[in-house]
Structure 1
Amino acid sequence: MKLYGVIGNPIAQSKSPIMHNDLFGYYGIEAYYQPFLIEKGELAKAVDGIRALGIAGFNVTVPFKSEIIPLLDYIDPLAKEIGAVNTVINEGGKLTGYNTDGTGFLKSLEDEGFSTKGADVLVIGAGGAARAISFAIAQTKPKRIDFCNRSTENATRLAEEIAAHVPSSPLTLREAEREINKYGVVIQTTPSGMFPKDKEMPLHLENLKTPLVVADIIYNPMETRFLETARKSGALTINGLGMFIHQGALAFDIWTGIRPDTERMRNLLVNQLGGKRNADW
């Protein structure tokens, strides 16, 4: 039996084991998917252990998506440009890293009938997920992509990289709060609002007036306080479930060569997370 898994910190909230173990059973694959909590500063030892145990593949979540890159043997060109990896396959002891986050996010927008083409986009956050999503969006020819983050330095660095593809500027959180109505799409990519800290918000939305699309890549809870506030202000909201499903489907394909049934994945996770789809709010 092959072993797969996900590494991160925290990791208890992840629904990846439920999703992938169901897929292994459904497709008759003798494999098991296990979450692994990795303490900060112990990633290199963990990767050595993965090699020693012969783990066939694994996902990478916060805070290791960028930190893991120098520990791998090969990096897919897109993941290298993004500077973050969320999926790794082990082939004969050689670890290859990919990034399925950005493509997964775009597919989740398509599911809801939205596109970032020609849009003014604001990304909240400047970490691995923000990088993957913004590089993917840049390929859709948006009008611009701006960034706000607790660390203005990180937002500035990412904006400078994206500016090679589309116009981009960094904002402070306070500037973003004031100028929120300039954007047609707002994407929340930080852990703020994730269970168990589900009362947190990355920024305030008191000024939100113009109808726009607000997405949050968090899926547990399925409606964060940030999304709830945006919805009550008249925005169209998208939670992180679709992105989670599509990035997971792409990872499963990389590991097994099978493109899984995403509707099955969605139904399973909706039931696990409370029985509501995004459109049920």
Structure 2
Amino acid sequence: MHRKKDVGIPHKEAAINCCDEVHPLAKSIGAVNTIIIRRPIDGKLIGYNTDCEACITAIEDAMRGRKYVNGKDLETSPLAEKIFVLVGAVGARRALAYGAKSRGARVVIFNQRAKALAHAVSGEALPYEDLDRFSPQNNMILANASSVGMEPKSNETPIAKGALKAYEVVFDAVYTPRNTRLLQEAAESGAIVVSGVEMFIRQALGQFRLFTDGLAPEAFMRKLILEQF
């Protein structure tokens, strides 16, 4: 039987060094959130990342206006050729950047300390102070991977409400509270909003598949997780 471990913030990047093997996706992202202890075969630690597909499919499905279903979607991603604006330096930042790049989006990270990551995804890193003035085109995608807006500072937001009119979709990795100030103001500005709770649910579904080699009881897991938020 495989044994398994969840890896949370701030250990996801460091956890790679603890693994004997790392799945190619997790290796390219540079972060692991799931470790499988491969027993009784050889006892090796195998690292995976379920955050990437969780957050990216949540955004894609919201744009397509449909619910998540198990299995692969072979349609062209609605993120293709979009400007994907990423805020933050921790958490799901790497997963979001690599996921957006894999779907053909142009990634712009508002954190100058993220130059190496921006280069890795053929994007660019700009000063956070310029975020409110950044509007080269309409219908962009905004993803908050910072802790801004998280309880107990739920009255904060990473971007001015007036700047949200340039965004088609706004995703917030913060899930406490579930409906952050950023998401409230984005909805009021006419954007499609995606809660971090949806990412939380989907990454758990991905972990269940790794842990059991089977499909997760999605309806039950959704109900169980949503009752906690």
- Please state which band the TM-score falls in when normalised by the shorter chain: 0.7 to 0.9
Work out the CA distance in 1 between the residues paired with 2:89 and 2:26. Answer: 16
SS in 2 for 1:109: helix
Equivalent residue letter for 2:28 = E
Query: Retained in 2: the 8 A contact 1:84–1:128?
Result: no
Equivalent residue letter for 2:149 = G
State whether structure 2 residue 79 is matched by structure 1 residue 120: no
Q: What is the RMSD of the two structures over their aligned residues, measured on CA atoms?
A: 2.1
Deviation at 1:159, TM superposition (A): 0.7
State whether structure 2 residue 20 is matched by structure 1 residue 70: no
Q: Hey, what does 2:72 align to over in structure 1? A: none
Deviation at 1:265, TM superposition (A): 1.9
Deviations 1:180-211 (A, max 9, x none): 57351101112222233323323333333235
State whether structure 2 residue 99 is matched by structure 1 residue 136: yes
- Which one of 119, 132, 137 corresponds to residue 177 of structure 1? 132
Work out the CA distance in 2 between the residues paired with 1:64 and 1:103. Answer: 19
Deviations 1:97-124 (A, max 9, x none): 1011111112212432443122111011
SS in 1 for 2:80: coil
- Which one of 33, 44, 49 corresponds to residue 94 of structure 1? 44
Q: Hey, what does 2:110 align to over in structure 1? A: 148
Please say which structure displays the higher CA radius of gyration. Answer: 1
Gaps of 5+ in 2: 65-77
Equivalent residue letter for 2:163 = N
- 1:158-173 equivalences in 2 (<5 Å): 158-163=117-122, 168-173=123-128
Q: Hey, what does 2:161 align to over in structure 1? A: 205
The normalised TM-score by structure 1 is 0.69
Deviations 1:203-261 (A, max 9, x none): 33333323521111222211111111222222221111221111111111111112102
Q: Hey, what does 1:85 align to over in structure 2? A: 32
Structure 1 stretches of 4+ with a deviation exceeding 6 A read none
Give the number of aligned pairs.
Answer: 212
Query: Retained in 2: the 8 A contact 1:79–1:99?
Result: yes
Equivalent residue letter for 1:145 = V
The normalised TM-score by structure 2 is 0.84
Gaps of 5+ in 1: 3-54, 274-281
SS in 2 for 1:146: strand
- Which one of 111, 122, 128 corresponds to residue 61 of structure 2? 111
Specify whether residues 245 and 181 from structure 1 end up closer, same or farther in structure 2 by C-alpha distance, changes over 3 A only: farther
Work out the CA distance in 1 between the residues paired with 2:166 and 2:93. Answer: 23
Percent identical pairs in the alignment equals: 33
Which structure exhibits the higher relative contact order, with contacts defined as CA atoms closer than 8 Å and separated by 6 or more residues? 2
Work out the CA distance in 2 between the residues paired with 1:174 and 1:263. Answer: 41
